[in-house]
Structure formats: C-alpha cells, structure tokens
Structure 1
Amino acid sequence: MEPATPLMNDETETLSRMTPVEAFLATPASNVRSETPQDPEHQYLWRCFPDHVWSQRVRDTSSWVWDFGYDIQNLNGSRRWVCKRCIQNKSPRPRSFAEKGIQNANAHLFKGHGIWAPAEATKSAAQRKAEKMKTKDQRSIADVMKLDTRLPREQEIANSLVKSFDRKHFQRLLLEWIIEENHSFSICEQGRLRQIFEYLNPLVKITDASITRKTIRHRILSAYESHKGKVIAALKQSSGLIHVSFDGWKSGNRHSLYGIACFFRDENSQPRKLVLGVPELRTRHFGHNIAAEILDVLDAYGIQDRIGYFTLDNTESNNKAMEVIGGELGFVGSTRRGRCFGHTLNLSAKALLFGHNVEAFEEQRSDQLTYLLRSIQRSEFEMSSDPRIKARKPLDLIIDNDTRWLSQLYMIRRALTLRPFVEQLVLKHRQQWEQDNRSRRTGNLRKSAKEPQICLEENQLTTNDWDVLDHLARLLGFYEDAVKTLEGDGQQRRRKRGWVGSYGNVWEVIQGFEFLLEVLEDYKKLASEIPDAEHFRININLGWEKLNKYYSRLDETPIYYTALALHPAFRWGYFENEWKDNAEWVTKAKQMVREVWEREYRHLQIVRNSVADEPVAKRQRKYYNPFQAYCERTRTVSGCIVVGGWGQ
C-alpha cells in the first residue's frame, strides 16, 4: 500500500478554518488506487458496486468533494462519486452520485458526515444555513456574563473564565461518561442535556464544544486504532500461547456483535486478559461467517501462530467455526475447543428444573400482582414494633433471565423468602377478583368471569411443592459454588502467600463435573424420602444426564486431562482414586495426555529461570464453599510420580 499523500497548502488552509471536531472529521482519505486487492475498504466498495471499475477519467476533478469520494464508472463509462466515509463505515447503502449531480455530494458530506466545504468553494444550502445560525448565536463570555472588558478587573475575570475551560477536556469527559455508563451515542445530542451544560458553563455553547453521535463513533475508533500498537507489543512480549474466547449478542439497535477477548501471561508471567475487538457480523450466524470475523481480528494483531485454546459456549455454530479456524491456523479445531463451564451448568440446571421442554416455560409477569405483593409486604412491615422491620423495603419476585447463569436459583431463593407474602397474595387476589366480578343484582359471580391463572388449583404451591423448592435451592447452591469458583473476575490480589489470581483453572473443570455428579447422586437418594416427588426425581436424572453428556465431550479436548495430570497436587492419583471402577478411563486419559505432550510440548526448549532465594509460602488449607472443600479432599497425599510411562 502506498503512503498517503501529505496535505497540500490549500487543504491545510481549509482545515485551519475549522473547529478541531470539524478538522478531525474532514481530514480526507488518500485518493490512491494502488492498494492491494485485499484492502477491506476496496473489497466493500466492489461488493456494493459489482458492475463498476475505477474511472478512466479524461477531465479534471477539481471539485474538493473528490478528495472524499471514490471515482468509479460503470460498463457504459458513466462516472460516479462514491462516499469514502460511507464505505469506511460499511454503511449498508453507501451514498453515490452521478458526475453531473456532484453538487449533491457536497450536501451529503455536510449533512451526513459534518464535513464543511472550504471557504472559497461552493457551499451547500445546509452549510450556508448553519453558518448563518452560528454567526447569529456567536457571543463572547463577556456578553453572557455582562462584563465590561474595558475595566481591568472585569477583563481579568473574562480571561480567567476562558482559560479555565478546556474544550477538548470537556469533550473527553463527555465521551468517557457515555462509554462507561453504556449510554446511547445519541444522548449527547439531546437538547435538554445540552441546555444543562450551557447553563453550567456558557463556554460550552460559545466554543461549540458539544459533540455529535458521529463524532463519538469516530473518536472511539480513532482511540482504538491509536492504542492497538500497545496491545500488539504487549502480546509480542507475552510468554506461552494466547488463548481466546468469543461470544455473540445483539445490541439494542439490532446490531449483531461478537466480543473477542484473549488471555495470556505477560513478560512477568502474570495472567492478563484483553478485549481484542467487537466486530459486527452482518451476515447470518453460520460457523464459517463467525470464523471469518475471528480470523480477521487475530490477523490484525499478528498472533495467528501463537493461538492456544478457545473457550466457547455450546452452540452448534461454534463447532463449525472452530473447524474453519483450526483449518486456517493448522490444528484440529475440536482439540482446542473448550466449553464454557457456566453455560454447561446452566443447561443442566434448566433440565433439572424444567425437564426436556425448557422453552415451554414462558416468562409472565403481571404489574397488578407486583403492586399487590408490595402492598402486602408494606402492611406486614408497618404492623411490626421493631423499627428495623418497619424500615424494610418490599421485595419483588425475581424472573428467570437467560443472560445470567443460574438465574433460576435466585428466582427460587426469592420465592422462598417471600413465601408467606406469596400465599397471602393468592388469597387477596382471589378476593379482589371475586369482588370485581360479582353481579350487583344477584351477588353471584358472573358466568363470563374467567378465573385468573394464579388462582387455579393446579397452579397453587402445596406444602410438598415448597419443600421441593427448598431442596432445589440447596441443590442449585452447589452449582453456584462451582460456577463462582471457576469463572473468576480476572483480578490479581496480593496476599501473604504471594499473588493470588481469581481466574478459573482449567484443571478444576474435571473436578467441577465430578463434584456435581456426586452431588446429584446423593440427591437421587434423598428424593426417595420426599413424598410425592416423582417430578423431582425424574428431573434430577435429566440434570445428571445433561451434565454427563458434556462431561463425556471433554475427551475432544485433552488439555483438561493434561492440566489435572500435570498438577503436582493431583497427578494421576486423582484419576486412579476417582475412577477406580473404570480403569479403561484412566488408560485412555494417559494416552490423550501423551499425545498432547508429543504434539505440542516435546519439541520445545526448556528454559531454566533463576529462582529467588525466598522461602516457599505455606499454602493455606482453607476453603470457602463445598466445591473448594471437594477439591481439597481429592488432593492426593503422595502424588503419583510421572516418569517415562506417564505415572504407570
């Protein structure tokens, strides 16, 4: 790619007349054609205009708008101007105009991208109107504050006010606030918010410091590009492989986005994580489309040859994506594909609660019932003589949420907390319904009255139902322990025993499965003691089957077995103890670990680092939940020594 041509004198003069925001937006892209066919902007240009080629122009393009547009022609030789900004932003319908209607490009650049025409050039009607309004509204701080600058004291006040306002700093603070609070970019254009800013400091309006949603987008992209080099340098200095996780979601304005994060050890061997990109998937979510976006991001950071393992959710499209990614990067995709433990446990929890037909349970919520439930709680609190109870605020029922792991557990816990109020809610709602549907003449219920769902006998929770909910809350509490231990928050904390990370550890995944399968086996026995708990017993089996299904799939990714076998506190002793009734499982695991060693690590050079002369910190034998207690219990007393034959 040829270097961009420097600004000419007339371009420099043009930019000097603009505000910083206008200058930022109006810097023209290079009008160079000799870029490689792989240039993404040119690829998108030809995708939008497939029957066009570069213009073989014979006349001069003296108009300034050609600096901001592509010059192309169709098979008949008719020239068109295509907006570069639209192509750069990948607009679904990039604006283009015929050569004879080039004045329309002038208006589009101003209205669509905030690019002002040079002073000596022909201006669009919209720009002329904006300039007229700007001149009309232009006032100095002295005018606004009613200061007489002929008086030294008041002149000093005016100068002090001007110096105290940093336009760029104001815009930076506004930009950071919008990003940190996850506001819509359009919030900066709200008239009421701008009035507040101008009331607090008139210089916001005087210096034209307000920004637009398009400015925000451009500045974010600019900041991303400016910091990209630092990220590339940090990844280059990292030791070992770089691991990747990605997932997709749809934004409120219906953009399909994929978040891509990487996990690695820095030059000091401390675990780190970084977000690499949030590309938009403009095509259908097929595996090969997802893979193309991921590969583009990895290529942009130059880390294709250092990729380790992927952690993804269980959607089928990710299987195909990993197959394509592996094919491009030179490995078998399934062997590098880890599965999100939280997502797996969430699937098992849903099977445990809802059986096979999870989607049949719809989310329903009545505002009328919500207000009634709050009223019942308030009445109860107000009758108490305890000031602490009187000060309590009513609680709402929690509804299942697909974006939060184990949200069903929090729903059940809240229901158990509100049990006395829920039972009153049913009675009061029935009374209210009967009162509203009685005939004034006869006093009887109208025949057309339809009994509310909440009042139907089959929808009432019996004492046994509440007991089952209590057991489910306890059971799902074990799921919560495993998820919280394994998900971590990515933060490093200094403790007496050294740096302690809160990342989930790959060797704990097998332990998590074994722990929960063991818990479910115990609850199978407990279910036999619960009266009329057939549904409970069946769904425990369904939860167990779902968990075991994904446990079996760990065979596709041998690194899980490798990590646990190489852990000095577990080694092969863990497998031999936990799988003592399945010797063939241990043999198969040893074979998979050896294959990982031969394929990935045997050829690597061993680097011996100097060890600081510090005493090894004692490991605190503490655990904070039953899963951690299980991990502690399964540590082998005398680990199986791995020599030659992998612990045989």
Structure 2
Amino acid sequence: MDPFDDETDNVSSTPPPSEPSTNSTSSVHEPSRFPDYQTWTTERFKRFPNFTACHDPSRERTWWWQFGFRMKDHGSESHKIVWVCERCFLRNKTKAARYTFIASTAGSIVRHLRKEHKVVQPVGSHEEVALGTGAAKRNVLDMLRADPKNPRDQSLLSNLHTLFDPAMNQLLLLDWLTYHNLPFNLVNSERFKRLLLYNNPCLQEGQIPSDRTLVNLLEKEYNRALDPVKVLQKARSMIHFTFDGWTSRQNTSFLGVNAHFIDRNWKQWRILLALPALRKRHTGAALADEVADTICAFSLRNRIGYFTLDNATNNDTAMEALAYEFDFDQYERRIRCAPYFLNLAVEAMMYGGKKDNFAELLSDLWR
C-alpha cells in the first residue's frame, strides 16, 4: 500500500539511450566530427547518380571518416559503401571518380588526403577498415520503387537512412525482450534476422546486436537508471519503506520495495528500489531477507524510518526479523495501512462473522 498521495514525484524508470555498439575493433583515434550531410542538395546529387547517404557513426570509427561522406553506390551489384572526400565535394570538383573511393580501400583514401589536402594520419591512431554490407533481403530501392539516378529520389533515400538510429533500434529491441521476458539468444536466430532485415532495408546485418551485446547494454541501462536514486543520499528526512508482494499471470512472485522521503528542497519522493523475484515461500523471514538486502545495497541502514504495511501475518514476522537485523523497535516503526484497515472494518460491519456464506444470506432475504 502506498501511504502518499498522487502528488508524490516518481522517478522515471526509462533510461536515456546508450551509445551504439559495434562489432568492429575500436580505433585509438576516432573521428571528432563528421561531415555535414545536409550539403547534399538535389543539384549536387545529380553529379552522383545511384548514390545515397549511408551515415552510421557506429561504423565510422577510422580517423579519415571525419574528412569524407559515407555513401552507398546502388549502381553496383553489391551496393558498395564508398567514401567521398568532403573538401573536393564542397569545391564542386568535376571528376568525382578522383575523390570517390570504395570504403574498404583505406590506402587509396589515405593517399588522396595526403597528396591532395596535406592531411596525414594522426599520431597514435591505427587503421581500421570500415565495411559496409547490403545484407538486407529486400532492397530499399525495390521497397520504395525509387530511382537512384533521380536526384530527388537520391535525397529521399539519404534522408530515410539518416533518420534511422541504430542505437535506438537496439534499445527498443532490448525493451521488447525484457518486457515480455523473452530469451536474449532469440536475436541470434537467422529467421529473426531475416524478419528485421526485411521490415527495415535501412538496417544492416552488422547492426543487429548479439545476445551478449544486449546483456552488456542491459547492464549499462541498469547502472544508468540507478543515477536518480542518488537523490536518496541528499534526503532531508529519514527513509521510509513500503513493500508488498505481487504475482504475475505466469505465476511468478515478486516483492516491490519502495522508498519514501523528502529531499532538501522539501520535495516528496517515492522511488521503487527493488522488484526481486521471490523464489522461496512467502514467509516473513524470506520477505525480510529481500528488504534487508535492498536496504544494505543502497547504504540506508543508518537512515531507516517507518514501514507502512498491511496486516498480513507474514508482515508481522518480517518486521520482527528486520527489527532484529537493524536494531529498532518493531512496534514503534510499524504503521498499519489505513485503507486496508478501513476495508477490514467495513467488511466486518457488513458481513459480521458470516462473510463466507454471505451469498446464502442474501438469497434467504429475497425468498
């Protein structure tokens, strides 16, 4: 039961997006900036038939990507990823072939930058080949019936690709798996990958995270979500607790442990500290173990206030165990849940001692 009103502030459990993961080895010197893809106007696309923007920071980890655009050439059968020199492009040089290179040919890109622009590899960095893949089972050109030789279609395709965020795609995938309690190795299924690639041709096969990547991402998001809980350390009041059990439709039991307090700005807070699954019987000792672990995990043993609980017998036993663990008076620190108490009183007045056969009493009255 929650003794506080609806005006209590709740800490959001939605974490901010994490950094995108990549399957490639990170280089020592990653690009500090990327070219401005907004410079690819319809007029400029006319000089590059079959080209569309394919910007993906998670795959542009080599130093020379800060000097060139990542584009996809739909004119080739394999839809190759190419590098277009930004400086030459902005100067509107006519012979595009002289400053357009397949992204996997790092040597040609480095030679062009050194020879034409006196740009050399930064000290301390090492080369990394950026690989592009057109692994989608359905091509985006076929999906949209677009013409890569039409500058307007080129601009449309480029905008479509840049609007897709691989990092958000990973977060949504993680949210789906955790919300429905699905196994993480589901993402390793070839059929699942084919489904994703078919539904989103902008997605590349290398952007589909593995189960290990999602586990690491889950740990990052969990640690990120813990940041708001640090407000506990700045509380003006003692930390008060409510806890109660809940059973899912799959018959899995959980124990919700909430903290309630007032911060230094006199703002009232309510935070869910833990929601552990109860593997054991719902005895008072088992409940007390989970609550005690939560209190110790957040270093709150010296700031324990009051506990508001319903009148269940196992809560009495739990309070006895917690009082022994943290050395406080269980009767002084226990607050009965008022709505639950009133509900019991109303039921007693309505049904008396014959609640179980109340339906029979009603039927007798209407005979």
When normalised by structure 1's length, the TM-score is: 0.31
Gaps of 5+ in 1: 1-12, 22-133, 363-452, 466-648
> Partners of 2:249 and 2:206 in 1: how far apart?
30
Match of 1:202 in 2: 200
Pairs within 5 Å for 1:221-236 = 222-232=220-230, 234-236=231-233
> Partners of 1:210 and 1:341 in 2: how far apart?
51
Match of 2:256 in 1: 259
> Partners of 1:314 and 1:20 in 2: how far apart?
56
Pairs within 5 Å for 1:323-472 = 323-360=320-357, 459=363, 462=366
- Summarize the Cα distance change of 1:252–1:458 in structure 2 as closer, same or farther, 3 Å threshold: closer
Shift of 1:348: 1.7
Match of 1:184 in 2: 180
- Counterpart residue type for residue 313 of structure 2: E
Shift of 1:151: 4.2
Shift of 1:197: 8.9
Match of 2:140 in 1: 141
Match of 1:160 in 2: 159
> Partners of 2:244 and 2:347 in 1: how far apart?
21
Residue 238 of structure 2 aligns to a residue whose secondary structure is: strand
> Partners of 1:351 and 1:195 in 2: how far apart?
61
Percent identity between matched residues is 30
Match of 2:65 in 1: none
Q: Which has the higher contact order (CA 8 A, sep 6+)?
A: 2
Residue 334 of structure 1 aligns to a residue whose secondary structure is: coil
Check conservation: 1:185, 1:216, Cα contact below 8 A.
Answer: no
> Partners of 1:153 and 1:319 in 2: how far apart?
72
Shift of 1:223: 2.4
Check conservation: 2:23, 2:206, Cα contact below 8 A.
Answer: no
- Summarize the Cα distance change of 1:213–1:265 in structure 2 as closer, same or farther, 3 Å threshold: farther
Pairs within 5 Å for 1:13-412 = 15-16=23-24, 137-172=136-171, 184-185=180-181, 202-203=200-201, 222-232=220-230, 234-360=231-357
Shift of 1:269: 2.1
- Summarize the Cα distance change of 1:245–1:156 in structure 2 as closer, same or farther, 3 Å threshold: same
> Partners of 2:239 and 2:227 in 1: how far apart?
17
Check conservation: 2:238, 2:261, Cα contact below 8 A.
Answer: yes
Shift of 1:338: 0.9
Q: Deviations over 1:396-443 (max 9, x none)?
A: xxxxxxxxxxxxxxxxxxxxxxxxxxxxxxxxxxxxxxxxxxxxxxxx
> Partners of 1:255 and 1:212 in 2: how far apart?
27
> Partners of 1:272 and 1:185 in 2: how far apart?
29
Q: Deviations over 1:442-490 (max 9, x none)?
A: xxxxxxxxxxx9xxx972764xx9xxxxxxxxxxxxxxxxxxxxxxxxx
- Summarize the Cα distance change of 1:351–1:255 in structure 2 as closer, same or farther, 3 Å threshold: same
Q: Deviations over 1:181-219 (max 9, x none)?
A: xx6355998xxxx999989x6347656878899988875
Residue 264 of structure 1 aligns to a residue whose secondary structure is: strand
> Partners of 1:296 and 1:319 in 2: how far apart?
18
- Summarize the Cα distance change of 1:195–1:282 in structure 2 as closer, same or farther, 3 Å threshold: same
- Summarize the Cα distance change of 1:259–1:219 in structure 2 as closer, same or farther, 3 Å threshold: farther
Check conservation: 2:241, 2:257, Cα contact below 8 A.
Answer: yes
Residue 246 of structure 1 aligns to a residue whose secondary structure is: strand
> Partners of 2:277 and 2:137 in 1: how far apart?
41
> Partners of 1:143 and 1:335 in 2: how far apart?
72
> Partners of 2:338 and 2:134 in 1: how far apart?
61
> Partners of 1:347 and 1:212 in 2: how far apart?
52
Gaps of 5+ in 2: 1-20, 27-55, 59-132, 187-192
Shift of 1:355: 2.6
Check conservation: 1:139, 1:206, Cα contact below 8 A.
Answer: no
Check conservation: 2:242, 2:259, Cα contact below 8 A.
Answer: yes
Residue 335 of structure 2 aligns to a residue whose secondary structure is: strand
- Summarize the Cα distance change of 1:175–1:346 in structure 2 as closer, same or farther, 3 Å threshold: farther
- Counterpart residue type for residue 263 of structure 2: D
> Partners of 1:137 and 1:175 in 2: how far apart?
21
Residue 280 of structure 1 aligns to a residue whose secondary structure is: coil
> Partners of 2:215 and 2:349 in 1: how far apart?
45
- Summarize the Cα distance change of 1:149–1:458 in structure 2 as closer, same or farther, 3 Å threshold: closer
Count of residue correspondences: 237
- Counterpart residue type for residue 238 of structure 1: A
Shift of 1:144: 2.8
Check conservation: 1:167, 1:207, Cα contact below 8 A.
Answer: no
> Partners of 2:358 and 2:214 in 1: how far apart?
41
- Summarize the Cα distance change of 1:235–1:17 in structure 2 as closer, same or farther, 3 Å threshold: same
Shift of 1:333: 1.8
> Partners of 2:22 and 2:167 in 1: how far apart?
21
- Counterpart residue type for residue 156 of structure 2: I
> Partners of 1:212 and 1:352 in 2: how far apart?
60
More strand by share: 2
Shift of 1:155: 2.5
Residue 279 of structure 1 aligns to a residue whose secondary structure is: coil
Shift of 1:325: 1.0
More helix by share: 1
> Partners of 1:316 and 1:272 in 2: how far apart?
28
> Partners of 2:355 and 2:307 in 1: how far apart?
28
Shift of 1:311: 0.3
> Partners of 2:216 and 2:354 in 1: how far apart?
46
Shift of 1:281: 1.4
Residue 311 of structure 1 aligns to a residue whose secondary structure is: strand
> Partners of 1:271 and 1:302 in 2: how far apart?
20
Please give the root-mean-square deviation of Cα atoms over the aligned residues, in Å.
4.5
- Counterpart residue type for residue 459 of structure 1: S
When normalised by structure 2's length, the TM-score is: 0.53
- Summarize the Cα distance change of 1:215–1:352 in structure 2 as closer, same or farther, 3 Å threshold: farther
- Summarize the Cα distance change of 1:459–1:331 in structure 2 as closer, same or farther, 3 Å threshold: same
Residue 331 of structure 2 aligns to a residue whose secondary structure is: helix
Residue 280 of structure 2 aligns to a residue whose secondary structure is: coil
